[in-house]
Amino acid sequence: MSKTITLMGGAGLMGEGIVRDLATDRTIVELTSIRVCDLSEERLGALAAGIDDQRIDLCHLDVTHPERLREAIEGADLCINAVPTMAGHQMVIFEAALAARVDYVDLGGLGTYTTRQLAERERFKEAGVTAVIGAGADPGMSNVICRAVADELDSIDSINLYWAAEVSGDESPILIPPYSVSTVLAEYAHPSVQFLDGRHVECPPMSGIETIDLPEPWGRADFMHSPHSEQLTVPLADGIRDKGIREFTWKLHLPKREHEAWLGLVKAGFGDFNRPVEIGGVSVKPLDLLNKMMERNIVENRERIPEQESHEIHFAVGRGTKDGRLVEVRCEVIVEPDPLYDDYVDACTSMNASIAAQLLLRNTPRPGVWAPESYFTIGEYFPELEKRNFKISKASTAL
């Protein structure tokens, strides 16, 4: 049976990538319509010009208008929320999907709304609506990697989750965000909640420094705690919590020069990005100013931006027992430069959101609110990653 998807923030960087993946022959569900909703008419026009697919239905939408939001969601089989988390509309769209009795997927982000969303599980269950939250790359694919590790252990002492990015090529004189500017700033400036000694603990920004030797091009990489949703859900999931887990952490590594730039912005005060400042009698949010400055700088200096290739490694390391022996299990996904990703800003995030949406549509729904590690199975998820040229490996070592 053909399906209709409503995609909020559909002409943004991640939203456009989701549309691109849905418009390929990789899809495992038949789609009648992809209703792309966005506040920017300019971005909507650019998306339509760049992706030739008759199923795309453009919708100029301000999600703060309840009636227009309701109309955009009603009648769809699934609502994907790709509006940046820090824009503050996540719960509004989440609730609108529930009211319309339409299944829901979002990309999550930093755990800002995770606990509030999970608290609505019974309401969604009673309404027969399925919601999978935090279903991009990190969170999303990363949660599924943790499930793959947990499934190899009879008892679990710890699972530590990591993400590292590196670029190859000449150094760029222009700072280009790896994803949402607000997300990066929050990862550097805000405290995080980690799961330590069997309980959730608030940790200072950029704490928990750990150096790990990785293969090239990453090499020796310094990781740090940062706020995310994985640590709020994975250690509490069935099949993980009941195996006795005592520690779960999430740590980040960005390329050295980029790390220094973001650290400098935080030192300058941009970590408090939503608290307005007065400039010439006008109230301005630092985030709005920084976004506009960076956008202008990228456009005006595009010819100075060298050719670079992005490399990502996502990996989880679990320690515990298997058949009475102490073991360490490592599962990793490597995303290397590939022509398949040329038209994507962040192929890993948008492709994984597309995977999650399609699996939800293809399978029998499970009403309620779920994190990815509790909703998807390794057997259905990993083949979709391999279809998109992500390299998966898993190994177990006796301790």
> 221-244: per-residue pLDDT in tens?
999 999 999 999 999 999 999 999
Rounded to the nearest 10 degrees, what angle do helices 256-265 and 181-189 cross at? 80
- What is the percentage of the chain residues whose pLDDT exceeds 70? 100
d(CA 294, CA 278): 20
**pLDDT(1) > 80:** no
**pLDDT(200) > 90:** yes
Contact 21, 137 (CB under 8 A): no
Q: Kindly report, residue by residue over 242-294, the tens digit of the pLDDT.
A: 999 999 999 999 999 999 999 999 999 999 999 999 999 999 999 999 999 99
Q: Tell me what pLDDT residue 108 has.
A: 86
Nearest to 346 by CA among 191, 110, 86, 140: 140
Domain extents in the chain: 3-137+346-384, 141-344+386-398
**pLDDT(112) > 90:** no
CB-side neighbour CA atoms (13 Å) of 355 = 28
Instruction: Looking at the structure, give the CATH architecture of the domain made up of residues 3-137+346-384.
Output: 3-Layer(aba) Sandwich (3.40)
What count of other Cβ atoms lies within 10 Å of the Cβ of residue 347?
A: 23
First to last CA, the chain: 50
d(CA 325, CA 398): 7
Q: What are the CA-CA distances from residue 319 to residues 163, 193, 312, 323 (Å)?
A: 18, 21, 23, 13
For residue 130, give every residue at least 6 positions away whose Cβ sits within 8 Å of its Cβ, in sequence order, or none: 103, 104, 124, 360, 365, 366, 367, 368, 370
103-130 average pLDDT score = 94
204-212 average pLDDT score = 97
The correct answer on CATH 3.40.190.10 for the domain covering 141-344+386-398 is no
Q: Tell me what pLDDT residue 13 has.
A: 87
What count of other Cβ atoms lies within 10 Å of the Cβ of residue 220?
A: 8
Q: Kindly report, residue by residue over 50-83, the tens digit of the pLDDT.
A: 999 999 999 999 999 999 999 999 999 999 999 9
Q: Give the pair of three-digit tokens for residue 253.
A: 């590594």
Contact 310, 344 (CB under 8 A): no
The backbone torsions φ and ψ at residue 336, rounded to the nearest 5 degrees and listed phi first, read: -105, 160
**pLDDT(183) > 90:** no
Reported confidence tier of residue 218, pLDDT bands at 50, 70, 90? very high
Q: Tell me what pLDDT residue 282 has.
A: 95
Mean confidence (pLDDT) of the chain: 95
Q: Kindly report, residue by residue over 342-353, the tens digit of the pLDDT.
A: 999 899 999 999
Which pTM does this prediction carry? Answer: 0.94
**pLDDT(179) > 90:** no
d(CA 137, CA 224): 18
